[in-house]
Amino acid sequence: MSELFVKRTHFSTSAERLFAWHAEPEALERLIPPWEHSRVISRTGTIRDIGSRVELRARIGPFWQTWISEHTACEEGRMFRDVQIKGPFALWRHTHRFEPDGASACYLEDRVEYALPMGALGAMVAGRFVRRKLDRLFAYRHEVAASAFRARS
C-alpha cells in the first residue's frame, strides 16, 4: 500500500530558471537540511541523464544506511523523476514538476509516492512520523529555493 505526499509552492521565477537551479551540480547538497545527517557519496550524470544515479549515506535513527536513487525521466524545464533503487523505503518515486504560471512565475510541485517497509505494520508504526518528516523536509527545500531566487532579484 503506497502513500502520496505532495508539496506545491508558487515561485516568482520562470519554470525554466527554477528547473536549471535544481539541475546545478551542487543542488542536492543545498537541499539537504542540516538536521538530516545525510551526505552525497557519489553520483553519475545529472538529473537530465536518464539512468544517472546518486548515492547517499543517511542516518535513519541510530543506523547509517545507503540510499541509491536513479533518474528515470526528464523533460527539460518541466520535470524530472528519481526512484529509490536501494534505501529505507519499500517504494520511493519522486517527481519534481515545474509548471509555468505566465512568463516569469511557476509552481514547483514535489510529488512523492512512497511505501514503508513491512506493509501495514510499517505504516502503523512509522506512518505519521514519516509524513511529518516529509512535511518538514519539503518545507525546507522549497524555502531554500525561494531564498535563492529572492537573493538573485
Find the DSSP H helices in the chain. Answer: 15-23, 27-31, 119-152
**Identity at 103, one-letter amino acid code:** A
Q: For 89-123, how does the pLDDT look when each residue is reduced to its tens digit (9 = 90+)?
A: 999 999 999 999 999 999 999 999 999 887 775 66
Amino acid at 109: E
- Dihedral sign of CA atoms 36, 54, 151, 10 in order: negative
Extract the C-alpha cell encoding 31.
537541499
Q: Which residue has the cell 535513519?
A: 60
pTM of the full structure: 0.92
Average pLDDT of the residues in 23-40: 94
User: What confidence tens digit (pLDDT) does each residue in 39-82 have?
Assistant: 999 999 999 999 999 999 998 878 899 999 999 999 999 999 99
Nearest to 94 by CA among 13, 3, 25, 16: 3
CATH code of 3-152, in short, is 3.30.530.20
